Structure 1
């Protein structure tokens, strides 16, 4: 409803305006009346009407002076002026000052008033939409800046709310793990789980695996805690608080969400008082965790050997290690996705299969481990069904399996000949006969293929990947990679990342 202030020194004209149409059906409500411009100006400061219908000729302060004073005071209320036949010059000046229109008092009827209200209603709606769009963009920047401020170890001043932000008395805050079970501010308001006085403002910010909903209230605010706790999401809420405490309240929610990741209690819970242990872990950066390539490499090797029990054992130990080091759940989700991509690649089903694992389905540390173990079991089954006999010679196949499991270590013809009890020259000829390439060439190709997978799926540097895949130094790795693929490792990684970002953008 748009609020209307009626300003007219003749009471019968104000009475006529009130009764002429059904204001609520037209989308308006009369919030007050005034008998002159001076009285109207005071009421405008208190009532903040969206529309003022004012007579031009009034005592103490006429309608034209009222319009000019309102604009000089920064008030943005729309104006419709009432005028007599001999006041057209004043009406023209009112339009110059920004009035939306005027009506003749003598001929004013239902049709004329409704037409004027429809016109000014469209103007106010368009103006409101534009203001809301500008404010929403400003608030999105504010949320991003506040997030950076909260996570900064330096003592910086908190960002300031946009100047165009209306005055709000209370706030509510809800933070949940981002996932398929979505939660929207609009739905919470529609169901009456959250309510408040006046025209409220909502917003959301998603980052680091978390989504925070913001509710701004001009008056009182309330929430139904029982219904919040029954929602199919996992997160925290804060009871109404003053907007000036937003930075502290949001920071506390983010701290406790990190702790909640390792718990098992589901639903939306109230964010309680600050914890000293959480303060220490957050402020000292104890939650910083670097994924262990040595552990991941052992897990991948067990997958390559089709050893499901060993994969489960190693993954479980790795997850326990991350919990002990208080790894942040965003990093853990990235680790799960990375391992799944490697498993999918080894299973021979490509990246399309790996996308089926959505870490955001899991809202806890143990749930994500269960999800990854289930996916790994499926991929191992796929790999077993897709495996083919590489050659018709058992000992050559044995060497091939060894190469796939130990490509990061030195592999020589002499060592392989001893392993299968064959003379070196004979093994060399037999291997090429069965595979179409020499053992040295086969191992080199395998190492480069593994290196390319790691460049695409891991965060390790090219030099680290070269060492992991058995190359003695970075220069030799770069030359070999360029010779086979026509570009340096770094260039391949950049083009791969750009291609993936383009695909996500198209989707």
Structure 2
């Protein structure tokens, strides 16, 4: 999102420009409105907009003089001149000052959009070029601060090259971590150039804020996260003192970059060698987005360093019993209790994941006790990916666990009830159609969510045969048909009907027909 400053001495024109188009939709945000040149210049120096739109004729400092002053400060500044006069002399002077565009009043909506589109493309190209250059310039800077906050050793020559050796001799430090929300979605939806621009914009905003407060250094901690090392006196780094800075980080990134961020704060430390403790606290603070994503600012002091999963008072056995008995109310209450305790104890993300794994383990035991296919049931609900590694908030985790409870409860209920005739008929039909595959009673039971022991009974009742006798009978009948084809060897036929071992095929064929496959082939058709 690019910043715009409007300057015009007519109130109606100022208001009209604000409302004539949807500036957000065009990729711009208005950061200031001035009624004369002097006020505009003051606002320009404070807000540093990407684009200035100014009337030519204003009292005091007119538009052309304002443009000249701005260009002296920033030669690459983008400026659009407005005028009620189609005057070549004005246009010529405007070109001389390097004005980006010259629009006549009253401003045409489509013409303004067209000019803004050109300016936006030029700004994006400028930012892309600047990004690549700054990326090179910032590498050593970011490397130094990453090593510093991670508690890793720093080569003296790097610190001296950056003239930051004196920084290490200061007494008080505090780490802030600023994380971009929905960065994963950005990677999937936006081209690389736009992602660079968003990140570049956020860093610029952070650097401007820190510069205003004269309190620290911004560095890239990872693609999704920026770090800020605050340096100063103890009182300067207190909660109360840095609160305005924290609020500006959250508000300005939203307004100017249209980007939602989370901020985690570490505690104040008194020596450069223990900055890593502040960093660890800031990192733990950000994990609290799992429970309260709406807050955006999290303080590390409120987070416990370590909460072992075994220390939780939550009763996993009660959840297991509730699912087993089909008690929806109690299993919902059990999961709610688990997450409430994790939140109350400010548990770190590692503990949260361990607790979720333990709850899932109880559910798997219920399925396995009924000889069900737990892997299949779990995959159908959760997929093959490690969904816990991607968890962003507790609501998603609760929803996933509740659905798993529902699936397991339905499976258990299904194993208790006698399946209707059409269902056991479906199982028999499946065996008829897949007899050549490596399928056994346990595998089929898992596929149809029925215990293998109970399925065996139903199979005997439906077909009059035990499962192994039934599938061997189908295989032998199919082998009889294939033996009429002299092109197929007996070994080939054995493999085609589902026997990996030819000797097993001989044995089952003879038990069923009374003769060997070779003798059967010799019989007249």
**TM-score higher than 0.5 here?**
no
More relative contact order, 1 or 2 (CA 8 Å, 6+ apart) = 2
Q: TM-score range by the shorter chain?
A: 0.3 to 0.5
TM-score normalised per structure 2? 0.34
Report the structure, 1 or 2, having the larger helix content.
2
